[in-house]
Amino acid sequence: MSRDNILHRIRTAIGRSAGQAAADPPPVRLRIPEVDMESRIASMIARIEALAGKACRSAEPCALVAAAIAGKKAVASNAPYLSECGITALPGVRSGITDRDELREVCAAADVGITSADYALADTGSLVMLSSPQEARLISLLPPSHIAVVPRERILTGLDELFTVLPNPAVRTSSMVLITGPSRTADIEQILVRGVHGPGQITVIMV
């Protein structure tokens, strides 16, 4: 079948003729449900735990993180919020790393990676991570355990609200990653394995 014949059949199927300009795309339709903060937090916890992650809310995140990393090597991102919470000053936590090679070496040896998150999505329990000097991707991906400390005001209802707040992510970052539960994969026999492409354990603390 020739190229022209194929294109003719496609145009006919969508009701267009040769040379006719494509119609303007429909307007973006985003629906943001009205969900109060308590319901958002409850949804985050339920969704994360349904995927074998851990989630909690606390007014004292530093104490929770200190207990979780006791006796372990940890690396924390350069997010200002972690510093405000006192987490970067905890014993055993490396932070303030700006050299890429040094960061890779530290993350490879760390037991726990600690980050904040730019946003969280209540309907799926997802963390939205925008790669930047403050939130390097390696810290949330390379260590076997990931702890995310998120202030409650960053919890959005879902993707529609995210793209209302952040309509063009490429303006702010070269990489936007959505983390939903611990890393998991399944082979052709559908055997679920955690921790293959990222941390096998994830803990989200909502402050």
The model's pLDDT over 23-72, given as tens digits with 9 standing for 90+, comes to 788 887 888 999 999 999 999 999 999 988 999 999 999 999 999 999 99
Which residues does 139 contact at the CB level (< 8 Å), separation at least 6?
75, 76, 77, 103, 107, 113, 114, 115
Q: Which of 73-82, 140-149, 171-180, 191-200 has the lowest mean pLDDT?
A: 191-200
Q: Which CATH superfamily is domain 35-206 in?
A: NagB/RpiA/CoA transferase-like (3.40.50.10420)
DSSP state of 31: -
Count of CB atoms situated within 10 Å of the CB of 17: 8
C-alpha–C-alpha distance, residues 169 and 121, integer Å: 16
Torsion of CA 45, 183, 143, 150, to 10 degrees: -30
C-alpha–C-alpha distance, residues 117 and 155, integer Å: 10
Count of CB atoms situated within 10 Å of the CB of 160: 17
Query: Model confidence over 92-146: pLDDT tens digits?
Result: 999 999 999 999 999 999 999 999 999 999 999 999 999 999 999 999 999 999 9
Q: Where do we find the tokens 């969280």?
A: 120
Question: CA nearest 57: which of 36, 42, 70, 74?
Answer: 42
What does the mean pLDDT of the chain come to?
91
Residue-range domain boundaries for the chain:
35-206
Query: Structure pTM?
Result: 0.84
End-to-end CA gap in the chain:
61
